[in-house]
Amino acid sequence: MLACLCTVLWHLPAVPALNRTGDPGPGPSIQKTYDLTRYLEHQLRSLAGTYLNYLGPPFNEPDFNPPRLGAETLPRATVNLDVWRSLNDKLRLTQNYEAYSHLLCYLRGLNRQAATAELRRSLAHFCTSLQGLLGSIAGVMAALGYPLPQPLPGTEPTWAPGPAHSDFLQKMDDFWLLKELQTWLWRSAKDFNRLKKKMQPPAAAVTLHLEAHGF
């Protein structure tokens, strides 16, 4: 047991969090980003209900699950669990940032098309919140020293369907946009929760280590 304690103390200077004295690290930023995703999730629930009623049936039916036909350009949130686990922090954050950049752009297009002023107000409010989330993710990436992904010139996504794009398909796209946004918010909550746990102060890890040895 004494040997274990000595080993722990020997390795103590190697724990980075203990070496930092004044800088709280990215932990609080990640926590805030996590909180923001949860808030947006709640906000989207209300907005999606209103917007889908605005589109009419079948889009506002609870069991409506159309094929993802015209929404290929939307960033896909679903990913294989093993792949998701194997993502490193940088890639994880980059995917989040890119996804919300695209989704925000599509959402602004949705806002421009909305007919009622109340709906436009709700969408604009949500866009502002989403912009905040994007800034928050950028902050976390900056704190961890990761560069922000640069959008390629000319690849700015637009919400201008071609002439063959029917209004029904357009509604399908709107439906998928909201659905994908919701899935992304769920995924982000898990992403930031994972990051948060990773960035927790190592003192807890020391304690766990000692407990594991029978203390």
Partner 1 sequence: MALFSVFQTTFLLASLSLRTYQSEVWSEPLPWAPESLKVSINSTRQCLHLQWSVHNLAYHQELKMVFQIEISRIKTSNVIWVEDYSTTVKWNQVLHWSWESKLPLECAKHFLRMRSAVDDAKTPEQRFWSNWSSWEEVDGKKGGDRRPLFVFPKDKLVEEGSNVTICYVSRSQQNNISCYLEGVRMQGEQLGPNVSMFNLNHVAFIRETGTNIYCKVDQGDGIKGIVLFVSKVLEEPKDFSCETQDLMTLNCTWDPGRDTGLLKQLSQSYTLFESFSGKKTLCKHKSWCSWQVAPESQETYNFTLTAENYLRKRSVYLLFNLTHRVHPKAPFNVLFKNVSATNATMTWKVHTIGNYYTLLCQVDLYGEGKVTQHNISVKVDGEHLFGGLEPDTQYMAQVRCANANRFWKWSEWTCQNFTTAEAAPSEAPDVWRNVKSVQGDCVVTLFWKPLSKLQANGKILFYNIVIENLDRSSISKLLSIPAPANGTEVILDQCLYQIHVTANNSVGTSPASVIIVSGDPGNTEVEEERVKGTEDGFSLSWKPQPRNVTGYVVDWCDHPRDPLCDLQWKNLGPNTTSTVVSSGAFRPGVRYNFRIYGISTESVPYLLEKKTGYSQELAPSDNPQVVMSNLTSHSFTLSWKDYSTESQPSFIQGYHVYLKSKAGQCHSGWEKAVLSDDAVCCKYKIDNPKQKTFVVENLQPESFYEFLVTPYTSVGEGPHGAFTKVTTPDEYSPILIRIILPMVFCILLLMIICYLKSQWMKEKCYPDIPDPYKSSVLSLIKSKENPRLTIMNIKDCVPDSIEVLNKQEGTRKSLTETESTKPTYLYLLPTETSYSGPGPCICFENFTYNQAASDSASCGHVPVPPKAPPSQLGLLTSPENLPKSLEKNYMNSLGEIPAGETSLNYVSQLASPTSGDKSSLPTNPPEPALCSEYKMQMAIPLGLASPPSSGSSSLSSITLLEEGEHYH
Q: Which residues bind partner 1 (CB under 8 A)?
A: 54-59, 61, 65-67, 113, 115-116, 166-168, 171
Nearer of residues 64 and 215 to partner 1, judged by Cβ: 64
- Residue 98 sits at the vertex; the CA angle it makes with 97 and 103, to the nearest 5 degrees, is 100
210: part of which helix (H) or strand (E)?
Answer: helix 202-212
Measured between alpha carbons, how far is 130 from 108 in angstroms, rounded to an integer?
Answer: 11
Closest distance to partner 1 from the beta carbon of 51 (Å): 10
Nearer of residues 14 and 115 to partner 1, judged by Cβ: 115
Closest distance to partner 1 from the beta carbon of 80 (Å): 21
Measured between alpha carbons, how far is 54 from 22 in angstroms, rounded to an integer?
Answer: 51
Closest distance to partner 1 from the beta carbon of 168 (Å): 4
Residue 61's φ and ψ, nearest 5 degrees, are: -80, 140
Nearer of residues 22 and 67 to partner 1, judged by Cβ: 67
Tokens 């589109």 correspond to what residue? 55
Closest distance to partner 1 from the beta carbon of 65 (Å): 8
Nearer of residues 27 and 66 to partner 1, judged by Cβ: 66
